[in-house]
Amino acid sequence: MSDLPSSISYMTQATRNGNQERESFHKFFECWIVEQDHHLHELVSASKDIEDRHQHHGGATAELNGRVLRPLLERVVQHYEHYYRAKSRWAKNDVLSMFNPSWRSSLEDAFLWIGGWRPSMAFHLLYSKSGLQLEARAIDDLILGLTNGDLSDLSTGQLGRVDALQKVTLREEKEITEKLAKLQETVADSSMVELSHAVSELIQEEAGDRVAEQEGRVEAALAPKEEGLVGVLEKADELRMKTLKGVIDILSPTQGVHFLIAAAELHLRVHDWGKKRDARHHQADSGGGVNGSNGHHRQ
C-alpha cells in the first residue's frame, strides 16, 4: 500500500488549513487514484469469486450479491462522489486549474471534456466491454443459452434502458457544451475589448505604474466569467456522476462489477501511459533534442 494519506483525511486537513490551491488538489488526486487502484483489486477479486461460483454452483447467489457485491459497488460509487465533492470545493477557489489540470498527463488532456471524462463515453465503454466478453464466450454456451452473468448477458430490456439513458445524456451533454461555448464567447465582449485596448495603450506609452492600476478592473471583468466556469464545471461533473449511477442502476450487481473494473482499468492505464509519455518527452527535451523547444511539460 502507498504511504500517502487517505484522500478524505487529506481533504479535511487541507480545508481546515485553508490550503486549497492547485498543488493541494494535485496531492489529493494522488491519494484518490491510489485508492481507486485498491478498489480495482477488490473488484477483480470479487469477479473471480463470481466466476468460481458460476463454474461450481451454476451462478452467483443472492447471498453473494447482498453480502459482497452491492456494498462493494456502493463503496466504489461513493469514492467517485467523494472525488467530485472535493473537486467542486477546490474549483470555487481556483476553477482555472480544473480546466488545465497539472495532475493529468498530456494524453489525458487531449481527451478531456470540461475538466473530466465525457459522460457519453460511459456507453462506449459499456458496449466495448460487452462486445469483448461476448467474443470470449464459447459458441456452445451461446447455443445452449448458458449465461455468465457478465456484460455479455445484457438483456433486451437492459439495452433499451441503456439506449434511453444514452439519449438523455447526449442531450444534456450538448446543452452543457453550448453553455460553455456561450461563456467562452464573453472573452470578446465589449467590456473585455475596451479593457484590453486601454491597457495596450498604456503599455505602448510605457506607463507601467498606470498599467498596474488596471489590475482591479481586470479582476472585476474576469470574476463573473470564472464564476460561470465554476457553474459549467459543476453541471458537467453532476452529469458524469448521474451517468455513472444510471448505468450501474441498469446493470445487475455482477455486471456492475465488470463495468467498474473496465472503467478503473481504462482510467488508471491511460493515466500511466500518459505519465510515461510525458516523462520520455521531458527527458528528450532535457537532453537537448532537436524538437526540445516544442515539448509539453507537466508540472
Structure confidence at residue 14 (pLDDT)? 60
Query: Where are the domains positioned within the chain?
Result: 27-56+64-274
Assign 112 to helix, strand or coil: coil
Helices (H), the chain: 7-16, 22-57, 62-64, 70-91, 95-99, 106-110, 121-135, 139-144, 156-185, 190-204, 208-213, 215-250, 253-286
Half-sphere exposure of 75 (CA within 13 A, CB side): 14
Tell whether the torsion through CA atoms of 223, 229, 231 and 237 is positive or negative.
negative
Residue keyed to cell 498604456: 202
- Of 95, 112, 113, 90, nearest to 227 (Cα)? 95
All residues at 6 or more sequence positions from 159 whose CB lies less than 8 Å from its CB, including other chains? none
pLDDT tens per residue across all 299 residues of the chain:
445 557 776 666 665 555 555 568 899 999 999 999 999 999 999 998 887 776 666 555 666 676 789 999 999 999 999 999 999 999 999 999 999 898 999 999 999 999 999 999 999 999 999 999 988 876 656 555 556 789 999 999 999 999 999 999 999 999 999 999 999 999 999 999 999 998 898 888 877 677 777 888 899 999 999 999 999 999 999 999 999 999 999 999 999 999 999 999 999 999 999 999 999 988 888 775 444 444 444 44
Are the C-beta atoms of 237 and 116 separated by less than 8 Å? yes
pTM of the model: 0.85
How much is the pLDDT for 34?
Answer: 96
Cβ-Cβ contacts under 8 Å for 201 (sequence gap 6 or more):
none
Looking only at Cα atoms, what is the longest distance across the chain? Answer: 84
Q: How far apart are CA 168 and CA 34, in angstroms?
A: 32
